[in-house]
Amino acid sequence: MEVLKMANSRVSLLRHSLNSFLPPSATSTFTLSILPTRRFIVSASISSRETFVDSLSSQEAAVSSAGSETPKMSNRWKPTCLYFTQEKCTMMQDLTHLQKFNHSFSMENALTPGEYKNKHSEHLDFFLVLDLEGKVEILEFPVLMIDANTMDVVAFFHRFVRPSEMSEERINQYIEGKYGKLGVDRVWHDTAIPFKDVIEQFEEWMTKHNLCSKEHGGPLHRAAFVTCGNWDIKTKIPQQCKVAKMKLPSYFMEWINLKDIYLNFYKRRAAGMRTMMNELNIQLLGSHHLGIDDTKNIARVLQRMLIDGVVLKITARRNPQVPENVEFLFENRIK
Protein backbone atom coordinates (compact mmCIF):
# COMPACT_ATOMS: atom_id res chain seq x y z
CA MET A 1 0.00 0.00 0.00
CA GLU A 2 1.14 3.48 -0.79
CA VAL A 3 1.98 5.74 2.07
CA LEU A 4 1.27 9.39 1.51
CA LYS A 5 3.86 11.87 2.66
CA MET A 6 2.60 14.77 4.62
CA ALA A 7 4.28 17.70 6.24
CA ASN A 8 1.81 17.60 9.05
CA SER A 9 -0.75 14.95 9.82
CA ARG A 10 -2.63 16.69 12.57
CA VAL A 11 -6.11 15.37 13.13
CA SER A 12 -8.80 17.00 11.03
CA LEU A 13 -11.72 18.30 12.99
CA LEU A 14 -14.73 20.30 12.03
CA ARG A 15 -15.27 22.62 14.91
CA HIS A 16 -18.44 23.66 16.57
CA SER A 17 -17.89 27.36 16.33
CA LEU A 18 -19.53 27.70 12.99
CA ASN A 19 -19.44 31.37 12.23
CA SER A 20 -15.99 32.58 13.07
CA PHE A 21 -12.40 31.62 12.86
CA LEU A 22 -10.81 30.43 16.04
CA PRO A 23 -7.44 28.81 16.53
CA PRO A 24 -7.81 25.01 16.83
CA SER A 25 -6.86 24.97 20.49
CA ALA A 26 -9.66 27.37 21.38
CA THR A 27 -12.43 25.30 19.86
CA SER A 28 -14.19 22.21 21.06
CA THR A 29 -14.70 19.24 18.80
CA PHE A 30 -17.64 17.28 17.57
CA THR A 31 -19.17 14.58 19.62
CA LEU A 32 -20.55 11.36 18.23
CA SER A 33 -23.43 9.79 20.01
CA ILE A 34 -26.04 8.90 17.39
CA LEU A 35 -25.50 7.40 13.99
CA PRO A 36 -26.65 9.47 11.04
CA THR A 37 -30.13 8.74 9.86
CA ARG A 38 -31.06 7.50 6.40
CA ARG A 39 -34.53 8.99 6.54
CA PHE A 40 -35.17 12.19 4.71
CA ILE A 41 -37.95 14.61 5.40
CA VAL A 42 -40.22 15.69 2.62
CA SER A 43 -41.52 19.16 3.20
CA ALA A 44 -44.28 21.22 1.66
CA SER A 45 -44.19 22.02 -2.01
CA ILE A 46 -43.17 25.37 -3.36
CA SER A 47 -44.03 24.52 -6.91
CA SER A 48 -47.00 23.30 -8.88
CA ARG A 49 -47.24 19.78 -10.14
CA GLU A 50 -47.15 21.02 -13.72
CA THR A 51 -43.96 22.97 -13.19
CA PHE A 52 -42.44 19.97 -11.52
CA VAL A 53 -43.25 17.46 -14.23
CA ASP A 54 -42.15 19.84 -16.99
CA SER A 55 -38.79 20.58 -15.53
CA LEU A 56 -37.96 17.01 -14.71
CA SER A 57 -39.23 15.68 -18.02
CA SER A 58 -36.90 18.04 -19.82
CA GLN A 59 -34.16 17.03 -17.41
CA GLU A 60 -34.70 13.41 -18.29
CA ALA A 61 -34.67 14.25 -22.00
CA ALA A 62 -31.42 16.11 -21.58
CA VAL A 63 -29.87 13.23 -19.70
CA SER A 64 -31.14 10.59 -22.10
CA SER A 65 -29.81 12.50 -25.08
CA ALA A 66 -26.32 12.13 -23.67
CA GLY A 67 -26.44 8.57 -24.99
CA SER A 68 -22.79 7.69 -24.63
CA GLU A 69 -22.91 8.57 -20.97
CA THR A 70 -25.89 6.38 -20.17
CA PRO A 71 -24.63 3.22 -18.50
CA LYS A 72 -25.68 -0.25 -19.49
CA MET A 73 -27.23 -1.58 -16.32
CA SER A 74 -29.85 -4.13 -15.48
CA ASN A 75 -31.64 -1.50 -13.42
CA ARG A 76 -32.08 1.44 -15.76
CA TRP A 77 -30.35 4.57 -14.56
CA LYS A 78 -32.88 7.22 -13.60
CA PRO A 79 -32.40 10.96 -13.15
CA THR A 80 -32.58 12.05 -9.55
CA CYS A 81 -35.61 14.07 -8.43
CA LEU A 82 -34.01 17.44 -7.68
CA TYR A 83 -36.95 18.42 -5.50
CA PHE A 84 -36.36 15.33 -3.41
CA THR A 85 -32.66 16.11 -2.92
CA GLN A 86 -33.70 19.48 -1.50
CA GLU A 87 -36.45 18.00 0.70
CA LYS A 88 -39.14 19.57 -1.50
CA CYS A 89 -40.69 16.68 -3.44
CA THR A 90 -44.45 16.49 -2.97
CA MET A 91 -45.01 13.51 -5.25
CA MET A 92 -43.67 10.71 -3.08
CA GLN A 93 -47.05 8.91 -3.30
CA ASP A 94 -47.17 9.06 -7.11
CA LEU A 95 -45.98 5.73 -8.51
CA THR A 96 -45.39 7.03 -12.02
CA HIS A 97 -43.22 9.78 -10.63
CA LEU A 98 -41.33 7.36 -8.41
CA GLN A 99 -40.71 5.02 -11.34
CA LYS A 100 -39.45 7.86 -13.46
CA PHE A 101 -37.11 9.58 -11.00
CA ASN A 102 -34.62 8.33 -8.48
CA HIS A 103 -35.68 9.12 -4.89
CA SER A 104 -32.94 7.37 -3.00
CA PHE A 105 -29.37 8.25 -2.46
CA SER A 106 -27.92 4.88 -3.01
CA MET A 107 -24.93 5.10 -5.29
CA GLU A 108 -25.56 3.72 -8.74
CA ASN A 109 -22.90 1.18 -9.67
CA ALA A 110 -21.59 1.29 -6.12
CA LEU A 111 -18.73 -1.05 -5.44
CA THR A 112 -19.43 -3.83 -2.98
CA PRO A 113 -18.44 -3.09 0.60
CA GLY A 114 -16.86 -6.55 0.77
CA GLU A 115 -14.04 -5.22 -1.37
CA TYR A 116 -13.38 -2.57 1.21
CA LYS A 117 -11.10 -3.98 3.87
CA ASN A 118 -8.31 -1.53 4.47
CA LYS A 119 -8.03 1.34 6.85
CA HIS A 120 -8.71 4.49 4.88
CA SER A 121 -8.19 7.35 7.18
CA GLU A 122 -6.27 7.52 10.37
CA HIS A 123 -8.45 10.22 11.79
CA LEU A 124 -11.73 10.63 10.00
CA ASP A 125 -15.14 9.03 10.52
CA PHE A 126 -16.79 10.68 7.54
CA PHE A 127 -15.89 12.25 4.23
CA LEU A 128 -18.02 15.15 2.97
CA VAL A 129 -17.73 15.21 -0.81
CA LEU A 130 -18.44 18.76 -2.03
CA ASP A 131 -18.60 20.07 -5.59
CA LEU A 132 -19.82 23.64 -6.01
CA GLU A 133 -21.26 25.00 -9.24
CA GLY A 134 -21.24 28.63 -10.40
CA LYS A 135 -18.27 30.73 -11.47
CA VAL A 136 -19.63 34.25 -10.89
CA GLU A 137 -21.59 33.33 -7.76
CA ILE A 138 -22.30 29.90 -6.28
CA LEU A 139 -25.43 28.37 -7.84
CA GLU A 140 -25.42 24.91 -6.30
CA PHE A 141 -24.14 23.46 -3.03
CA PRO A 142 -24.18 19.63 -2.92
CA VAL A 143 -22.57 17.50 -0.21
CA LEU A 144 -22.47 13.70 0.11
CA MET A 145 -21.63 12.27 3.52
CA ILE A 146 -19.67 9.03 3.23
CA ASP A 147 -18.92 6.69 6.09
CA ALA A 148 -15.14 6.16 6.23
CA ASN A 149 -15.58 2.65 7.60
CA THR A 150 -18.27 1.23 5.33
CA MET A 151 -17.85 3.54 2.32
CA ASP A 152 -21.65 4.01 2.23
CA VAL A 153 -23.33 7.29 1.44
CA VAL A 154 -25.14 7.83 4.73
CA ALA A 155 -26.64 11.26 4.07
CA PHE A 156 -26.62 14.15 1.65
CA PHE A 157 -27.30 17.86 1.55
CA HIS A 158 -28.27 19.64 -1.67
CA ARG A 159 -29.44 23.20 -2.32
CA PHE A 160 -29.61 25.43 -5.36
CA VAL A 161 -28.26 28.86 -4.45
CA ARG A 162 -29.69 32.22 -5.54
CA PRO A 163 -26.99 34.86 -6.27
CA SER A 164 -26.96 37.86 -3.92
CA GLU A 165 -25.60 40.61 -6.14
CA MET A 166 -27.24 40.06 -9.52
CA SER A 167 -30.26 41.59 -11.16
CA GLU A 168 -33.18 39.26 -11.91
CA GLU A 169 -32.41 39.65 -15.60
CA ARG A 170 -28.79 38.59 -15.14
CA ILE A 171 -29.82 35.66 -12.95
CA ASN A 172 -32.21 34.49 -15.64
CA GLN A 173 -29.52 34.64 -18.33
CA TYR A 174 -26.99 32.97 -16.04
CA ILE A 175 -29.33 30.11 -15.16
CA GLU A 176 -30.46 29.65 -18.73
CA GLY A 177 -26.84 29.36 -19.86
CA LYS A 178 -25.76 27.12 -17.01
CA TYR A 179 -28.74 24.86 -16.28
CA GLY A 180 -30.99 25.38 -19.32
CA LYS A 181 -29.00 22.92 -21.39
CA LEU A 182 -29.29 20.34 -18.62
CA GLY A 183 -33.05 20.90 -18.46
CA VAL A 184 -33.03 21.80 -14.77
CA ASP A 185 -33.45 25.58 -14.96
CA ARG A 186 -37.11 25.33 -13.86
CA VAL A 187 -36.31 23.37 -10.72
CA TRP A 188 -33.47 25.81 -10.01
CA HIS A 189 -35.89 28.76 -10.14
CA ASP A 190 -38.42 26.85 -8.02
CA THR A 191 -35.99 26.02 -5.24
CA ALA A 192 -32.92 28.31 -5.12
CA ILE A 193 -32.36 30.22 -1.86
CA PRO A 194 -29.68 32.75 -0.82
CA PHE A 195 -26.24 31.47 0.20
CA LYS A 196 -26.71 32.69 3.77
CA ASP A 197 -29.82 30.51 4.14
CA VAL A 198 -28.03 27.57 2.51
CA ILE A 199 -25.22 27.81 5.06
CA GLU A 200 -27.73 28.10 7.91
CA GLN A 201 -29.53 24.95 6.70
CA PHE A 202 -26.23 23.18 6.11
CA GLU A 203 -25.24 23.86 9.71
CA GLU A 204 -28.57 22.45 10.91
CA TRP A 205 -27.90 19.40 8.76
CA MET A 206 -24.42 19.00 10.24
CA THR A 207 -25.82 19.28 13.75
CA LYS A 208 -28.48 16.65 12.95
CA HIS A 209 -25.77 14.27 11.77
CA ASN A 210 -23.53 14.99 14.73
CA LEU A 211 -20.86 16.58 12.62
CA CYS A 212 -20.90 19.49 14.99
CA SER A 213 -22.03 19.86 18.53
CA LYS A 214 -22.03 22.44 21.23
CA GLU A 215 -21.58 19.71 23.82
CA HIS A 216 -18.10 19.22 25.21
CA GLY A 217 -16.47 15.86 25.71
CA GLY A 218 -17.71 12.49 24.48
CA PRO A 219 -16.30 10.45 21.64
CA LEU A 220 -15.13 12.42 18.64
CA HIS A 221 -16.96 12.35 15.36
CA ARG A 222 -14.67 13.70 12.73
CA ALA A 223 -15.24 14.67 9.14
CA ALA A 224 -13.40 16.48 6.36
CA PHE A 225 -14.46 17.90 3.03
CA VAL A 226 -13.26 16.09 -0.08
CA THR A 227 -13.14 18.17 -3.25
CA CYS A 228 -11.82 17.78 -6.78
CA GLY A 229 -9.27 20.62 -6.77
CA ASN A 230 -8.70 23.46 -4.33
CA TRP A 231 -11.01 25.98 -5.99
CA ASP A 232 -14.22 25.11 -4.10
CA ILE A 233 -13.06 25.77 -0.55
CA LYS A 234 -9.89 27.79 -1.07
CA THR A 235 -11.35 30.31 -3.50
CA LYS A 236 -15.07 30.16 -4.08
CA ILE A 237 -16.44 29.80 -0.55
CA PRO A 238 -14.53 32.86 0.79
CA GLN A 239 -15.54 34.89 -2.30
CA GLN A 240 -19.20 34.02 -1.82
CA CYS A 241 -19.00 34.78 1.90
CA LYS A 242 -17.74 38.27 1.05
CA VAL A 243 -20.52 38.81 -1.47
CA ALA A 244 -23.08 37.58 1.06
CA LYS A 245 -21.44 39.70 3.80
CA MET A 246 -20.77 36.71 6.03
CA LYS A 247 -17.80 35.52 8.01
CA LEU A 248 -16.10 32.46 6.59
CA PRO A 249 -17.41 29.48 8.60
CA SER A 250 -14.70 27.75 10.60
CA TYR A 251 -15.37 24.30 9.09
CA PHE A 252 -13.82 25.52 5.84
CA MET A 253 -10.37 25.62 7.46
CA GLU A 254 -9.02 22.47 5.84
CA TRP A 255 -9.91 19.96 3.17
CA ILE A 256 -8.79 17.00 1.09
CA ASN A 257 -8.07 17.69 -2.58
CA LEU A 258 -8.68 14.37 -4.30
CA LYS A 259 -6.40 15.36 -7.20
CA ASP A 260 -3.41 15.59 -4.85
CA ILE A 261 -4.32 12.27 -3.25
CA TYR A 262 -4.68 10.75 -6.71
CA LEU A 263 -1.28 12.09 -7.84
CA ASN A 264 0.53 10.77 -4.78
CA PHE A 265 -1.23 7.41 -4.78
CA TYR A 266 -1.27 6.45 -8.48
CA LYS A 267 1.75 8.62 -9.44
CA ARG A 268 -0.30 10.15 -12.24
CA ARG A 269 -1.59 13.69 -12.74
CA ALA A 270 -5.31 14.05 -13.32
CA ALA A 271 -6.54 17.40 -14.57
CA GLY A 272 -10.06 16.78 -13.38
CA MET A 273 -12.85 14.42 -12.46
CA ARG A 274 -13.32 13.08 -15.99
CA THR A 275 -9.64 12.14 -16.30
CA MET A 276 -9.76 10.28 -13.02
CA MET A 277 -12.94 8.49 -14.08
CA ASN A 278 -11.45 7.52 -17.45
CA GLU A 279 -8.23 6.26 -15.93
CA LEU A 280 -10.05 4.26 -13.27
CA ASN A 281 -12.54 2.95 -15.83
CA ILE A 282 -15.55 4.43 -14.08
CA GLN A 283 -18.48 5.47 -16.24
CA LEU A 284 -19.77 9.00 -15.79
CA LEU A 285 -23.41 8.98 -14.66
CA GLY A 286 -25.86 11.85 -14.96
CA SER A 287 -24.98 15.30 -16.24
CA HIS A 288 -21.44 16.64 -15.93
CA HIS A 289 -21.58 20.10 -14.27
CA LEU A 290 -24.84 19.40 -12.51
CA GLY A 291 -23.31 19.62 -9.03
CA ILE A 292 -25.29 16.82 -7.44
CA ASP A 293 -24.31 14.42 -10.25
CA ASP A 294 -20.66 15.51 -10.17
CA THR A 295 -20.62 14.98 -6.41
CA LYS A 296 -21.86 11.43 -6.86
CA ASN A 297 -19.31 10.77 -9.59
CA ILE A 298 -16.49 12.15 -7.42
CA ALA A 299 -17.75 9.92 -4.60
CA ARG A 300 -17.49 6.92 -6.93
CA VAL A 301 -13.89 7.87 -7.75
CA LEU A 302 -13.26 8.14 -4.01
CA GLN A 303 -14.79 4.69 -3.44
CA ARG A 304 -12.58 3.18 -6.15
CA MET A 305 -9.49 4.77 -4.59
CA LEU A 306 -10.46 3.53 -1.13
CA ILE A 307 -10.83 0.00 -2.46
CA ASP A 308 -7.43 0.35 -4.13
CA GLY A 309 -6.05 1.12 -0.67
CA VAL A 310 -5.60 4.87 -0.51
CA VAL A 311 -5.34 6.49 2.91
CA LEU A 312 -6.98 9.92 2.98
CA LYS A 313 -5.24 12.80 4.66
CA ILE A 314 -5.82 16.52 4.78
CA THR A 315 -4.06 18.18 1.81
CA ALA A 316 -4.63 21.89 2.52
CA ARG A 317 -5.10 23.97 5.63
CA ARG A 318 -5.70 27.64 6.35
CA ASN A 319 -3.60 29.58 8.80
CA PRO A 320 -5.92 30.06 11.83
CA GLN A 321 -4.65 33.62 12.32
CA VAL A 322 -4.62 34.57 8.63
CA PRO A 323 -7.30 32.39 7.02
CA GLU A 324 -6.56 33.54 3.47
CA ASN A 325 -3.11 31.96 3.79
CA VAL A 326 -3.39 28.31 2.81
CA GLU A 327 -0.69 25.77 3.51
CA PHE A 328 -0.50 22.83 1.12
CA LEU A 329 0.61 19.72 2.92
CA PHE A 330 1.75 17.48 0.07
CA GLU A 331 5.07 18.05 -1.62
CA ASN A 332 3.78 16.65 -4.90
CA ARG A 333 0.59 18.37 -5.80
CA ILE A 334 -1.46 19.67 -8.70
CA LYS A 335 -0.83 23.40 -9.04
Residues that are catalytic: 133, 289
By the rule CB under 5 A, 252 interacts with Zn ion: no
Asked if residues 148 and 222 have their Cβ atoms less than 8 Å apart, the reply is no
* DSSP annotation of 310: -
Asked if residues 273 and 301 have their Cβ atoms less than 8 Å apart, the reply is yes
Torsion of CA 105, 108, 111, 116, to 10 degrees: -10
Task: Give the nearest distance from C-beta 308 to Zn ion in angstroms.
Answer: 35
Q: With CB under 5 A, what is the number of residues at the site for Zn ion?
A: 4
Q: Which stretch binds Zn ion (CB under 5 A): 35-43, 79-87, 165-173, 282-290?
A: 79-87
* Pairing label, strands 153-162, 140-147: antiparallel
Looking from the CA of 42 toward its CB, the CA atoms found within 13 Å total 12
Between 38 and 119, whose beta carbon lies closer to Zn ion? 38
Distances (CA, A) of 165 to 137, 139, 221, 297, 315: 8, 12, 37, 31, 32
By the rule CB under 5 A, 84 interacts with Zn ion: yes
**d(Cα 191, Cα 224) in Å, to the nearest integer?**
27
Q: How many CB atoms lie within 10 A of CB 110?
A: 14
Task: Give the nearest distance from C-beta 80 to Zn ion in angstroms.
Answer: 9
What is the contact mask toward Zn ion in residues 89 to 108, using x (rule: CB under 5 A)? x-x-----------------
| Residue 33, helix vs strand vs coil | coil
Task: Give the nearest distance from C-beta 55 to Zn ion in angstroms.
Answer: 11
Q: Which stretch binds Zn ion (CB under 5 A): 25-33, 78-86, 107-115, 268-276?
A: 78-86
Q: Which stretch binds Zn ion (CB under 5 A): 80-88, 114-122, 219-227, 257-265?
A: 80-88
Between 91 and 277, whose beta carbon lies closer to Zn ion? 91
Between 81 and 244, whose beta carbon lies closer to Zn ion? 81
Burial readout 277-313 (b: 16 or more C-beta within 10 A, e: otherwise): beebebbbbbbbebbbbbbbbbbbbbbbbbbeebbbb
Between 91 and 198, whose beta carbon lies closer to Zn ion? 91
CA nearest neighbour of 79 among 59, 93, 95, 97: 59
Q: Which stretch binds Zn ion (CB under 5 A): 82-90, 148-156, 165-173, 227-235?
A: 82-90
Binding residues among 205-234 for Zn ion as defined by CB under 5 A: none
Task: Give the nearest distance from C-beta 310 to Zn ion in angstroms.
Answer: 35
Between 125 and 190, whose beta carbon lies closer to Zn ion? 190
Name which position in 81, 130, 253, 326 contacts Zn ion (CB under 5 A).
Answer: 81
Q: Which stretch binds Zn ion (CB under 5 A): 84-92, 220-228, 272-280, 321-329?
A: 84-92
Task: Give the nearest distance from C-beta 78 to Zn ion in angstroms.
Answer: 11
Task: Give the nearest distance from C-beta 158 to Zn ion in angstroms.
Answer: 13
Three-state helix/strand/coil letters over 105-125:
CCCCCCCCHHHCCCCCECCCC
Between 64 and 332, whose beta carbon lies closer to Zn ion? 64
CA nearest neighbour of 82 among 66, 67, 97, 64: 97
Binding residues among 266-325 for Zn ion as defined by CB under 5 A: none
Residues engaged in binding Zn ion (CB under 5 A): 81, 84, 89, 91
